[in-house]
Structure 1
Amino acid sequence: MEGDGFCFEDSVFTEPRDRSKGRGDLYKAKKCEPEWFTEETNSEDSGEVHTALKFRADLAYRQKDFEKAFSDYCDCFVLLPPNNTAMRRDVQESQARCLVHLGRYPEALRIASTLERGVFNTDHLTCSLNLQITIYEHIGNLGKLISCMHQLVSLHPFNGWIWKRLAELYLKAHGSAAEHVRDIDNVDLHAGETDEHFYAPANDGGKSLDLDHFSTQKDVDYCNKTLSEPSLGKNFTKRDLWMCSCASFIRARLLFQLVHSQQASFVLAKNLMAQEEIEEELKYFKLDEKIKKVVTEMMEWDLSSEHIKEEGCVDTKSTLALTSYRTPSDREFKDRWFKNIITLWS
């Protein structure tokens, strides 16, 4: 159709097509009753079975029934296919956290070690480190706890909460430097070949891990072993811990200040509360204002907007980000972040 310089497509004047024909049956969403997973599942779908077991275990964990939760997590893990990496790691971490609450620390550490060996990205490594931190915190091993925090800070150097936690641990270590601390350096966390046989239910109906080298009382009693000096003392003097704590609090405050203008609601409230807590902690150090200013300048050397933008562009789920990361030793971490500050007080 043409006229007066206008041109129309013939399709404009055709009847619209009835799109409802040939659609078939409409999709009907499956409705689940509350706590449907607490009943026995007879489904032939293995996915539905292990999902129900996982939910059942999660509920037991929430109710603090850690024995039952661990049992259900074990049953769930056996059914998971090897290629379901995400859920397998989730279930393994849950098993370890149950074992921590049950006081079975060697077994929890074995699972944590397995998870650490199987990381594919920095998210995996972060979860593994957080799990180890939880275990060492329950055991009371301050040296191992701080070493894990060093790795976590190295992965996330712009996270104020991690720096604040590290500062608190340094301060705690400084206060207990003369005390005995538990140490588990003698435990081989990397023993064993694969992870499949560690989490299967035992033949007698109970749930146990295959941990032959932890079977004797001597091996299990490692948790009560005390040393005359903390393992942290190899790299940090009591004076070092005091200075590193102070510098870490200042670094944490800088990071909180950097982001609080972008925050609102309860997130902002938590940020401001953390800054107030840091201010109270810094009063304990009784720093001269000139010294405080110098330390602040030293701890903000990498806080330019360009540097942070570059850091934020890293895909944490990328294997490239993980392969570019090298686990620092305690000495390397200390030299990178605190060498100049310690020299300042020498």
Structure 2
Amino acid sequence: MVAIQVDDLTKTFGETVAVDELSFRVEDGELFGLLGPNGAGKSTLINMLVTLLRPTAGTATVNEHDIIEETAAVRNSLGIVFQEPALDEELTGEENLAFHARLYGMDRDTRRRRIDEIFDLVGLEDERDRPVGSYSGGMKRRLEIGRGLLHEPSVLFLDEPTVGLDARTRRDTWEYIQRMNDEAGVSIVLTTHYIEEAEQLCDRVAVVDDGDIAAIDTPDALKESLGGDVVSLTVDGPTTEFTRQLEDRPWVAEYATDDDTVRVTVDRGAERIADLVRLADEAGASIASIDIHRPNLETVFLSLTGSTIGERSSASGAAAEPALGRTDGGQQDRTTDRQSQPAPTEDDR
């Protein structure tokens, strides 16, 4: 069964096209990544899929439920982990999960069973009775991910799940996300601007830029599409004769020059260094330095868009696109208000 089907989905805000006729599908059990900078349209897309925004045009289904005609069924079949924290830090971990379970109408026995399973799944059994305010950042993120799985959804949406975490905690969180996908069997859609996160976690990645999908495939296939390693040679003197020599070589996929640097794309770059140095010598060029860059998803993004993700984010500005769950310029769409949340009683847990 297809977890998510998207056909020509579009969202405009006045004259601004935030999402431009996107079409793709997410397979059942797949860990699918949306990789792109701030303002690319990732969160706007997710907000439509979780029924927080109504599309301007196009259609989509989540777990075979239409996002416009069957909003209640869509919401019941998915879980969401917002980019911004959404836990009540005055309640314990167990109380947070118990309250969430009540929102989904779970009976007491089901609540207790699922809460026990979630604490075991995210490795927080020893912390369940502590106030969430005393948790580390990584522990809070794990609890939020577990909470998103509490009602056993078919699809889990994670919006920038490791933003603000240190490198060690980020890697630990990746491990838990992978474990959720493997053990819970849930389809996961993850938005991120971290290259390594997409490479490490995702079965397939959609490269999102300016409201459009520039490419979609497995991380390995996207990197292989560039044609090999990029060998950068800094040349003392003119590069014209050297580049002319490169034109006749079948093992050179492509080359480009930038001031005194020549970038050559070849298979097995380390094995071709001697050949490149020989050609430069025959052309009367002196090589000052050589670097080998193996393709990653940053290289793919640069090749597809002409800019790095960091450059795109800086150009668009951090506030160019609302985070997941924000649809009105910063006011987060919440199903509950913290001050209206009663502390769970013993029978509620």
Q: Give TM-score scaled by structure 2 length.
A: 0.25
Please identify which structure carries the higher strand content. 2
Q: Give TM-score scaled by structure 1 length.
A: 0.25
Please identify which structure carries the higher helix content. 1
Answer with 1 or 2: which has the greater Rg.
Answer: 1
